[in-house]
């Protein structure tokens, strides 16, 4: 299974509002996307984090490049910063494990 981790930090109050306007539809899209096995969101430290698990990396990329998520990605650099990390695994990480992976191995955007 493919695990995708994100940690996003809005750039200020207005960006925080814009972030949520985009994040809620993106999260709903992920919940019903083909191949999605698990989808969670939680605030950790200063980041809004997600853990998603997918049947394959290809199905995660199909989600990533479509619908509400694509719309959010197009304005991401204007409203937020943060790390992302994806990897193959047999298990879904705990929140502590996910945050450690994001801070140690995540690519900053």
Please report the domains of the chain, with CATH numbers, ordered by start residue.
Answer: 2-108 (3.30.70.100)
Model pTM above 0.85: yes
Per-residue pLDDT band at 53 (split at 50, 70, 90): very high
2: three-class secondary structure by DSSP: strand
- Please say whether the beta carbons of 38 and 63 come within 8 A: no
State pLDDT tens for residues 72-82: 999 999 999 99
pLDDT interval class at 25 (50, 70, 90):
very high
Write down the pLDDT at residue 44. Answer: 95
DSSP state for residue 93 in the 8-state scheme: P
What is the predicted pLDDT for the residue at 12?
93
């Amino acid at each position: 299974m493919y695990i995708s981790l994100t940690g996003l930090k809005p750039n200020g109050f207005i960006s925080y509002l814009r972030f949520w306007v985009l994040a809620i539809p993106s999260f709903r899209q992920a919940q019903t996307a083909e191949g999605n096995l698990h989808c969670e969101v939680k605030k950790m430290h200063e980041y809004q984090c997600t853990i998603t698990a997918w049947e394959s990396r290809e199905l995660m990329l199909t989600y990533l490049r479509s619908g509400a998520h694509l719309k959010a990605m197009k304005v991401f650099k204007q409203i937020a910063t943060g790390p992302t990390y994806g990897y193959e695994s047999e298990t879904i990480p705990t929140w502590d494990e996910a945050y450690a992976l994001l801070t140690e191995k995540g690519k900053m955007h």
